[in-house]
Amino acid sequence: MRIKWFSLVRITGLLLVLLYHFFKTKFAGGFIGVDVFFTFSGFLITALLVDEYAEKERIDLIGFYKRRFYRIFPPLLLMVLLVMPFTFLVRRDFVADIGQQIAGALGFTTNFYEIFTGSSYESQFIPHLFVHTWSLAIEVQFYLLWAFFLWLMTKRRGTAQQFRGSVFLLSSVFFTISFLSMFIRAFLVDNFSTIYFSSLSHSFAFFLGAMFATLTGVKETTTRFKKNVRLWPKSRTIFYFFGAFALLMLLSVILDFNHLFTYLFGFILASLFSVVMIYAARVLSDQTASSKEPAILTYLADISYGMYLFHWPLYVIFTQLMSNGLAVFLTLVFSMIFSSLSFYVIEPYIAGKTVRLFDYELNLLPYKKWIYGTVGLLGVVTLGIAAFAPKVGNFENELLVNSLTQAQANVNRTHTLIAGDANAMSDVMVIGDSVALRSSSAFTELLPEVQLDAAVSRNFTDAYTIFQNHIKTNTLSKTVVLAVGVNSVDGYAKALQAFIDDLPKGYRLILVTPYNAKDSRIAAMRDYELELAKKYSYVTVADWYQTALDYPTIWRGTDGVHYSDANTEGAKRYVETIQGAIKKAAKSAAK
């Protein structure tokens, strides 16, 4: 039984995810699209199981698992097989440890893989091609355990009404445990991704959907629900639906993945708005019994799962080869083709059903050998890529080498200071992020006297802690170079002012303007830092942002933050920019 207007719920979840991935700076909270899917899945699966018990007084657990398998696994496997040949178009960093990623995706354990490898959902230098299957992993884990719990509850042989009540109570308990897990852990963790990927902390949306499922149903609806269908004006139902949709869109604009508010209230609000949409759609379905859902909505809902699977790895690959606009276009085209092929041809074929494409029945038996041959060839290619893929990509290797280079340089500098030869070097300290770390060798070559303290994912808060520690221990260099900003775009004005206010007298501050080709907000930070240099005589700007624009070739095939590893020009330009600012600062008055 297909419920009209549920398609709009599925499309809303997909839309939010696509907007987040394609236009992250404008829809920074679009990751809540996953929570729309979670809430809807919890509602639909629970409603179907409750209806099955009401009709048959039992639940066919094995049958349920089989239906879920045929719906989930074939598109997932097809996605992996079709995506892998595309990896020949990009550098090998993108297939580093790809075998583990594939195993995690097909084994529905990607969320655990990302947690155990310490990955950050938002700030991966080389994005994992299958990181998006973390949500599918949690969803399958929910299906397996929740269906089993409900199956156990049927052994009590109560009435359908009693079963509904028991499911509501159990859903409420699991919802409370999961939500409190996210709420409390939000105050305790350094990396929010560990909560985001957590099966325990991020599953309350399923149980909120399950709670509402017991209040409505799909086939067997409740008395209260039927009363609402009769009493609610259609305009009121539509207002609830689109009002919840508008609120979800608002959250997609204002939420920040790394903000505490998101984990305390953001996700729960997204789930609540989602469940309002679901309930309103269910009421509207009965209120519009004589009308049909537009075919385009049905089609988009049918392929929404496939679109979710295919879009991310294709988008990652295409963005390495072309502009974002063209990458988005090609991602949508290929994703729609592959998703349609999966839903209308491959999935029914595997399930032994009649294959129909746009009302035309297809007989695939004459092409059986070609189908199996193609799948076999793609399987061989996938296994070959996984077998010969590096364990760690060149980018991560270079960061490790640069960390060691930085450490050795600081040891040498310490030995020189102990020997009393402090005049042999300029008194300059660089507090930087991964871009500075990536340039360690260039610092050693061009500015060997500089003390470099750089680390991956460093933000203003981390840098300020280091800054304060040097002040307290009286080890702060006379010229401080602050080379951070990409990892903390929000609140930069207040953060920068803290450095300026706390800079001791007799010292100089150099601000390195950050650069991120994919984040338009960076330009505003750069402009603000230039204004600070005009306002304070002891503040100088090393305009890396402008240098990055002047040398576009160093960004080919990169993430838009870290220059290409195909040459050393990026590192040279970066250090030369800072070198020029140091010379300029030396001619200006100290604080």
Give the pLDDT confidence score for residue 78 in this predicted structure: 95
Which residue, 485, 487, 576, is CA-closest to 526? 485
d(CA 586, CA 583): 5
Give the pLDDT confidence score for residue 414 in this predicted structure: 46
As a residue count, the chain comes to: 591
**8 A C-beta contact, residue 37 and residue 209:** no
Token pair recorded at residue 349: 């074929």
Question: Biggest alpha carbon distance in the chain?
Answer: 90
Give the pLDDT confidence score for residue 425 in this predicted structure: 38
Token pair recorded at residue 394: 């060149």
**8 A C-beta contact, residue 20 and residue 27:** yes
**8 A C-beta contact, residue 536 and residue 69:** no
Give the pLDDT confidence score for residue 406 in this predicted structure: 54
**8 A C-beta contact, residue 510 and residue 541:** yes
Residue for token pair 């996984």: 386
Torsion of CA 69, 71, 72, 76, to 10 degrees: 120
Strand-pair category, 355-357 with 360-362: antiparallel
Give the pLDDT confidence score for residue 129 in this predicted structure: 92
d(CA 119, CA 113): 9
Mean pLDDT in order along the chain per 10 residues (591 residues): 89 97 90 97 95 91 93 95 93 86 94 83 72 96 96 88 93 97 93 92 96 85 88 95 97 92 96 96 91 92 96 93 91 96 89 78 82 91 89 54 52 45 60 87 85 85 91 90 86 92 94 87 91 94 93 79 73 92 89 92
Give the pLDDT confidence score for residue 507 in this predicted structure: 93
SS3 175: helix
d(CA 252, CA 246): 10
d(CA 15, CA 308): 10
Q: Which residues of 121-141 are buried (b: 16+ CB within 10 A; e: fewer)?
A: bbbebbbbbbbbbbbbbbbbb
Taking the CB of residue 325, how many other CB atoms lie within 10 A of it? 9
SS3 558: coil
d(CA 51, CA 71): 20
Which residue, 428, 477, 438, 478, is CA-closest to 458? 438
Which residue, 63, 59, 60, 42, is CA-closest to 157? 59
Give the pLDDT confidence score for residue 367 in this predicted structure: 81
Give the pLDDT confidence score for residue 444 in this predicted structure: 82
Which residue, 182, 168, 189, is CA-closest to 269? 182
Residue 453, beta-bridge partner list: 431
Give the pLDDT confidence score for residue 415 in this predicted structure: 45
Give the pLDDT confidence score for residue 424 in this predicted structure: 30
Helix (H) or strand (E) holding 591: none
SS3 512: strand
Token pair recorded at residue 212: 């509402």
Token pair recorded at residue 572: 């040279």
Amino acid 256 reads D
d(CA 569, CA 69): 50
SS3 392: coil
Amino acid 133 reads T
SS3 539: strand
3-state helix, strand, coil in the chain (%, to 5): 70, 5, 25
Q: Please give the model's pTM, rounded to 2 decimal places.
A: 0.80
SS3 76: helix
What is the sign of the dihedral through the CA atoms of 252, 258, 264 and 267?
positive
Domains of the chain: 394-586 (3.40.50.1110)
